[in-house]
């Protein structure tokens, strides 16, 4: 029996609720595939500040460093908006990324066909879209020095070193080889020296991936093109700030932020989390959509734990449930069946269990 240590950081708001749903799915995977998951729960974000006066503790970071993967719910909320900058919940997230060396953020935005009508864009514009945003995560304006503010000015430094651009570019090209084979590098090279540097380095790296087409696009045009014709994109490669913005645009193309998982990957560590926020207005009401958190578990199984079949079955189960018209309130349509967080979890569990028989039947056909 293979064993994996997973540190969970349920976080704030609906984070603990969607985490519980996802861990139920993970437990089912463990029993069916003879995998042992050692689950360690730590605090991060506002929950950590409330107990320890820090958005994440050294002991929580150490647990993450010692784990095969980290699962994060969501952090933040109005309760902590007035804290000093270095105490805000989001600082715990930035610290996690920095300490674990999570330099690449993978944000898939694939349209679930049954939810195409939930998007604010026309159905014929979005159906068939499958975008992966590869965002550099530990450099750029969020980490550059000097930075600060006073009563007269505020300033941040947008700085990238060559190795930082090289390694994220390689991630994007490698991903594109496994997908539809195209990279769009997004920058603002017409006005920013740092972006011209980014473009030059990306093109250098491209020399090792000449079989993967590369195009450049300014970030303002990329934002427009994403809502005009998202099907033109495969892998979008971009820096930290631009990726933060563009990945939220791609998320809304799908119709709901509650639907999308993400992965933050480094050379030795990985963290998986839903794209959505903490939704304090529905905390404790059993209304939260757990699909993004469950999808994040699927990404973890596929990318870090090397369990692609289990990951595929989870994604199949999600699709099956949606095709039946079963929805949480955030993605409900007039003719859908609305279920709670627990209800959606149970429906996905049942669909996952049913898919086991389909896989066994397929194996038997192969043997014959």
Nearest residue to 213 via CA among 175, 246, 176: 176
**Cα–Cα distance measured from residue 319 to residue 216, given in angstroms and rounded to the nearest whole number:** 34
Antiparallel, parallel or unpaired: β 270-274 and 326-327: unpaired
313 near 352, Cβ under 8 Å? yes
Q: Which of 220, 229, 354, 356 is catalytic?
A: 220
- Tokens found for residue 272: 């998986």
Is residue 142 part of the annotated active site? The answer reads yes
Q: Please, which residues have CB within 8 angstroms of residue 65's CB and are 6 or more apart in sequence?
A: 99, 100, 269
- CB-side exposure of 365: number of CA atoms within 13 Å? 6
68 near 8, Cβ under 8 Å? no
Is residue 5 part of the annotated active site? The answer reads no
Is residue 324 part of the annotated active site? The answer reads no
Q: Is the dihedral of CA 282, 286, 289, 294 positive or negative?
A: positive
Is residue 272 part of the annotated active site? The answer reads no
Q: Which of 88, 91, 95, 188 is catalytic?
A: 188
Q: Which of 12, 187, 234, 244 is catalytic?
A: 244
- Tokens found for residue 274: 């839903």
- CB-side exposure of 234: number of CA atoms within 13 Å? 16
Task: Compute and round to an integer the Cα radius of gyration of the chain.
Answer: 21
Q: Which of 68, 216, 248, 342 is catalytic?
A: 248
Is residue 188 part of the annotated active site? The answer reads yes
CA distances from 187 to 190, 200, 239, 297, 311 (A): 9, 11, 7, 31, 33
92 near 53, Cβ under 8 Å? no
DSSP H or E segment with residue 199 = helix 193-206
DSSP state of 258: G
- Tokens found for residue 114: 């049954």
Antiparallel, parallel or unpaired: β 183-187 and 104-110: unpaired
95: how many CB neighbours lie within 10 A of its CB?
Answer: 18
Antiparallel, parallel or unpaired: β 104-110 and 148-149: unpaired
- Which residue carries 């050294």 as its tokens? 58
Q: Which of the residues are catalytic?
A: 142, 188, 220, 244, 248
């Amino acid at each position: 029996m293979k064993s994996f240590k997973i540190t969970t950081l349920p976080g704030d708001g609906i984070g603990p609720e969607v985490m519980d749903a996802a861990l139920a799915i993970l437990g089912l995977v463990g029993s069916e595939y003879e995998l042992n998951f050692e689950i360690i729960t730590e605090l991060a974000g506002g929950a950590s500040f409330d107990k320890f006066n820090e958005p994440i503790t050294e002991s929580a970071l150490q647990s993450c460093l010692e784990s095969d993967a980290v699962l994060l719910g969501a952090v933040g909320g109005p309760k902590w908006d007035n804290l000093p900058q270095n105490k805000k919940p989001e600082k715990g997230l930035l610290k996690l990324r920095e300490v674990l060396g999570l330099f690449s953020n993978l944000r898939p935005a694939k349209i679930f066909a049954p939810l195409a009508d939930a998007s604010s864009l026309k159905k014929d514009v979005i159906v068939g879209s499958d975008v992966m945003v590869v965002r550099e995560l530990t450099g750029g304006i969020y980490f550059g020095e000097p930075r600060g503010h006073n009563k007269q000015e505020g300033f941040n430094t947008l700085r990238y070193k060559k190795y930082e651009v090289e390694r994220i570019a390689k991630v994007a090209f490698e991903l594109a080889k496994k997908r539809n084979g195209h990279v769009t590098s997004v920058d603002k090279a017409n006005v920013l020296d740092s972006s011209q540097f980014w473009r030059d380095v990306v093109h250098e790296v491209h020399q090792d991936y000449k079989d993967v087409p590369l195009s450049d696009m300014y970030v303002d045009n990329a934002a427009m093109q994403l809502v005009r014709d998202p099907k033109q994109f495969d892998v979008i490669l971009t820096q930290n700030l631009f990726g933060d913005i563009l990945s939220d645009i791609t998320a809304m193309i799908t119709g709901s932020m509650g639907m999308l998982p993400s992965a933050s990957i480094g050379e030795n560590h990985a963290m998986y989390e839903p794209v959505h926020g903490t939704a304090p207005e529905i905390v404790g009401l059993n209304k939260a959509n757990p699909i993004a958190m469950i999808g994040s578990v699927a990404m973890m199984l596929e990318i870090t734990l090397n369990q692609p079949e289990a990951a595929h079955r989870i994604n199949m189960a999600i699709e099956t449930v949606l095709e039946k018209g079963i929805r949480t309130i955030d993605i409900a349509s007039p003719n859908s069946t609305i279920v709670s967080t627990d209800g959606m979890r149970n429906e996905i569990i049942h669909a996952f269990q049913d898919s086991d028989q389909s896989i066994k039947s397929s194996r038997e056909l192969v043997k014959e």
